[in-house]
């Protein structure tokens, strides 16, 4: 039996989409029928996962490792470590004081600063494309205005700003958190996420391996970006999508075709998972 871990955005689906290719769904079903177990391994929170849970999985690692659940109805929680209310409030205050735009990702949903669109459009030519993409993501994933935040436990904060120095104070006061940052040079802005150092996707893989008594060497992980790094470093066989990060490709055992080219299905065949 192999344990298979799938990132979602850019791996199982196009970024922000809730519909995987039919070939991927077929491959997952065949892999499970063969006796393997398949898990989602994503930065998405449980609420954002709901549209994908209509497909059959054996569990999920969500919130970049902060919430791990298995079972038929995903009701067996193996790991759960949200921010404390004090950490959440401090992080938002410091980030907002430094002009950083935030999206808080919680168990029950995600909420973002409402004027982020104005920020993106003000950064110059090209950012209108990013703003269109952001709006589509928000609509597909149900991201709501931050004024509607209902106190649901928060696992990570996604940040966007103009200069990396705007994150300096937050890095000082949130020493227990990793800042996973991407410089989106084409859009003249910084984008990233703040995640507790106590967990990551790799730890989630290890927790599920322990639950099912399967050695880590018998796992396969699929990802596309550097927020999949710990998963890629942990699994027995690592696979990066051809549409993925060049840095991650260099660290992966295999590079398979892109999500739009039935990459998962082809890799499942090549790795004898179906």
Distance separating alpha carbons of residues 54 and 24, to the nearest angstrom? 14
Q: Is the dihedral of CA 163, 200, 246, 241 positive or negative?
A: negative
As a residue count, the chain comes to 274
Determine the Cα–Cα distance for residues 39 and 205; give it in Å rounded to an integer. 9
CA distance 173 to 175: 6
Residue 189, pLDDT score: 77
Q: What is residue 216's predicted lDDT score, i.e. its pLDDT?
A: 98
Would you state the pLDDT for residue 121? 63
Write down the pLDDT at residue 261: 96
What is the pTM (predicted TM-score) of this model?
Answer: 0.88
Residue 138: per-residue pLDDT: 60
pLDDT for 117: 67
Query: What is the spatial distance between Cα 29 and Cα 26, in angstroms, rounded to a whole number?
Result: 5
Q: Which parts of the chain sit beneath pLDDT 50?
A: 126-129
Task: Identify the pLDDT of residue 126.
Answer: 47
- The confidence score (pLDDT) of residue 127 equals 44
């Amino acid at each position: 039996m192999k344990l298979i871990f799938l990132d979602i955005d850019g791996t199982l689906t196009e970024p922000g989409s809730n519909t995987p290719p039919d070939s991927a769904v077929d491959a997952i079903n065949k892999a499970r029928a063969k006796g393997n177990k398949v898990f989602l391994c994503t930065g998405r929170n449980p609420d954002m996962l709901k549209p994908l849970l209509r497909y059959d999985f054996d569990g999920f690692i969500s919130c970049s490792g902060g919430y791990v659940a298995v079972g038929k109805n995903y009701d067996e929680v193996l790991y759960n470590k949200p921010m404390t209310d004090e950490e959440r409030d401090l992080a938002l205050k410091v980030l907002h004081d430094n002009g950083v735009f935030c999206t808080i990702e919680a168990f029950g949903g995600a909420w973002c600063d409402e004027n982020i669109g104005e920020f993106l459009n003000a950064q110059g030519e090209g950012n209108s494309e990013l703003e269109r993409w952001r709006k589509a993501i928000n609509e597909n994933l149900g991201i709501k205005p931050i004024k509607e935040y209902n106190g649901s436990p928060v696992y990570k904060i996604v940040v966007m700003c103009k200069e990396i120095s705007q994150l300096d104070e937050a890095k000082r006061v949130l020493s227990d958190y990793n800042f996973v940052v991407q410089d989106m040079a084409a859009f003249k802005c910084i984008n990233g996420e703040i995640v507790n150092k106590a967990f990551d996707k790799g730890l989630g893989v290890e927790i599920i391996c322990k639950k099912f008594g399967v050695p880590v060497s018998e796992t396969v992980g699929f990802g596309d970006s550097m927020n999949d790094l710990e998963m890629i470093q942990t699994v027995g066989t690592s696979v990066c999508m051809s549409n993925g990060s060049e840095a991650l490709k260099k660290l992966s055992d295999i590079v398979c075709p892109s999500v739009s080219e039935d990459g998962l299905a082809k890799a499942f065949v090549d790795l004898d998972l179906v």
